[in-house]
A and B are shown apart, each in its own frame.
Chain A
Amino acid sequence: MSKVDSYASVKSLHASLPPFSPLISVDMLPYIALICISAFFVLTFTFSTLPKSRNPLPELGTGLLASGLAGIGIVALFCTVGVYV
């Protein structure tokens, strides 16, 4: 991006650049929230039913996946209900 050092230059730069587009389409956020949070609940239930064993990989793997889905799902849920985070 060209160097901006004055109001006039940043004004012309703002007029010339393309508009911002979000990483994920805003229209998809409600569906992403529904899918991710539903999957989070299912994985949490699965986590609770896993047998206790010395090998922690199944539990940690399930927890890790559920956490990741919850992270995305909750952010999408907040945006869906109008709390733009």
Chain B
Amino acid sequence: MLLLSLLLPFAAAAAPPADYVNTAISRTVELGGAIARVSTQFSVKALVDSPGAYHLALAGEGDAVPAFWEVTAGGKVLDVTLPTSDCSPSTVQIDLGRLKKDETTTIALLQLLAHTIEPLPKVIEQSDPQYLRWTTNSTYVDSWYLTDVERIKIRSPTANILSHGSVSSTYARDNTVTKASSTVTLGPFTSLPATLGGDVPRQPFNVHYETREPVVGLKTLKRSAEVSHWGGNLNIQDEMNLVNNGPKLKGHFNRLAHMQSRFHAASPAQIFKEFSLRLPASAHSAYYYDTIGNVSWSHFRPGTSSKRPKSRAVDSVLELKPRYPLLGGWNYSFTMGYDMPLEDVLKSDGSRKVLGVPFMTSWQDLLVEDAEMNIILPEGATNIEVFAPFPADISRWTHKTYLDSTGRPAITLRKSLCTENHAQTVYVTYTYSSGAQLQKPLTVAAVIGGLFILGFGLRRVDYSLDKKTA
């Protein structure tokens, strides 16, 4: 079955034809600190022969589009683009091919939701436990079609769930909400009408739970990837503005209590002390500094390249510690970077080059409010094309640095609300001839040649004060 997906602007008022029914919907919500990960399986049955496209809602009426979303069918990720219009609810049309009446198929939707989790209480003492509350505007799965059976599971990171919302028993035979350890199960709900474009009222739902990991985010992430053909090197540098989005501290920070907590089995959950980043296997010469200077509390463990026989690639690990512990609401800005061989990311077809650079380093359960990536190509690169794995604002400019004459072409990609799933590769193709590569040594040679010509002329100038007579 050939599956094609096409995204079209969809008017909020018009409901699609009732050509499908959801025989079963199963949703799992994994609650974290900053991100809620929602996985939904739709078992879909065609009600007519050759039905039209299946309308899959990405969010409810008035809700923001998820920070990341992905539609899978038949085990393959569908090539879907983000909505270009401001229609609500955001909906994707998926062509399921020529289905016969009563034929079924399965669609999987992955969503990463941002700004749906908040600390509650918002202010706590230094040693208090940390609680978060996840809120959704609609209990049921947003769908344009009737649903026979629907079940929703919400998993908390710990078994300590203080409270949760309630659900109407209109569409439930037995219990509407059951709690078992760290899982809250809603439903099963049966014979659910279309929740979108119909009369089903939206019911908000929330889960108030404990988390034992600090809630961190990046206000801004600025990545710079600089290509050097002469040095055969790619330099990646990240400027990060880290913030602890957990509950704010009540009172003053107690350094003594913080130092003593190191000897306890569990230190306060909201204090962010250290983190690790997985870097490419061939990364080397890692560095880490902030506004004060080099931060020596770091450890770099180089990885193993897979080029050696009988070995698989092992990522490098960079373990970093902020200069001070981060409590709720505290910020820390720093710069980290590393080099890697250019041959690992750049492929060559004569003078045409294809470069693949990761947009950001994968960091689990982290939300980046604003991410910016600058790709700096070598001086003399032409015919530049950019291929991003997701829609982003792209601009071009010229960067000047050491030994440059005309400057290096640079590309900037900007995207907001980035998650770990945005750590994908950005591809850039460009033309870079051997003649262009000689531009830099010729520039240096020209400057020094000019000095020689100046010296040639100055040697012939008579500097004597008294004219000698013959």
Q: How distant is the Cα of A66 from the Cα of B453 in the complex, in angstroms?
A: 12
Q: Determine whether the beta carbon of B443 is less than 8 Å from that of A71.
A: yes
Q: Determine whether the beta carbon of A75 is less than 8 Å from that of B354.
A: no
Scoring B residues 165 to 201 as 1 if CB is less than 8 Å from chain A, else 0, what string do you get? 0000000000000000000000000000000000000
Q: How distant is the Cα of A78 from the Cα of B230 in the complex, in angstroms?
A: 10
When C-beta atoms are compared, the residue in chain A nearest to B443 turns out to be A71
When C-beta atoms are compared, the residue in chain B nearest to A40 turns out to be B448
Q: Determine whether the beta carbon of B402 is less than 8 Å from that of A78.
A: yes
Q: Within A9-65, which residues are at the interface with B (CB < 8 Å)?
A: 10-11, 13-14, 17-24, 26, 29, 47-48, 52, 56, 59-60, 63-64
At the interface, yes or no: B293 with Cβ under 8 Å from chain A? Answer: no
When C-beta atoms are compared, the residue in chain A nearest to B432 turns out to be A20
Scoring B residues 190 to 233 as 1 if CB is less than 8 Å from chain A, else 0, what string do you get? 00000000000000000000000000000000000010111111
Q: How distant is the Cα of A10 from the Cα of B231 in the complex, in angstroms?
A: 25
Q: Within B350-391, which residues are at the interface with A (CB < 8 Å)?
A: 350, 352-354, 356, 385, 387-389
Q: Would you give the shortest CB distance from B236 to chain A, in whole angstroms?
A: 12
At the interface, yes or no: B442 with Cβ under 8 Å from chain A? Answer: yes
Q: Determine whether the beta carbon of A17 is less than 8 Å from that of B354.
A: yes
Scoring B residues 250 to 289 as 1 if CB is less than 8 Å from chain A, else 0, what string do you get? 0000000000000000000000000000000000010000
Q: Determine whether the beta carbon of B347 is less than 8 Å from that of A1.
A: no
At the interface, yes or no: B162 with Cβ under 8 Å from chain A? Answer: no
Q: Determine whether the beta carbon of A6 is less than 8 Å from that of B230.
A: no
Q: How distant is the Cα of A41 from the Cα of B343 in the complex, in angstroms?
A: 34
Q: Would you give the shortest CB distance from B258 to chain A, in whole angstroms?
A: 38
Q: Would you give the shortest CB distance from A16 to chain B, in whole angstroms?
A: 8
At the interface, yes or no: B445 with Cβ under 8 Å from chain A? Answer: yes
User: What are 5 A-B residue pairs whose CB atoms fall within 8 Å in the complex?
Assistant: A21-B348, A56-B456, A64-B452, A67-B446, A74-B403
Beyond the given pairs A7-B387, A60-B453, A68-B441, 19 more chain A to chain B contacts, judged by CB atoms under 8 angstroms and listed by A's residue number, are A13-B347, A19-B347, A20-B229, A21-B348, A26-B233, A52-B460, A59-B456, A60-B456, A64-B449, A64-B452, A67-B449, A70-B448, A72-B445, A74-B441, A76-B230, A78-B402, A78-B403, A79-B233, A85-B402
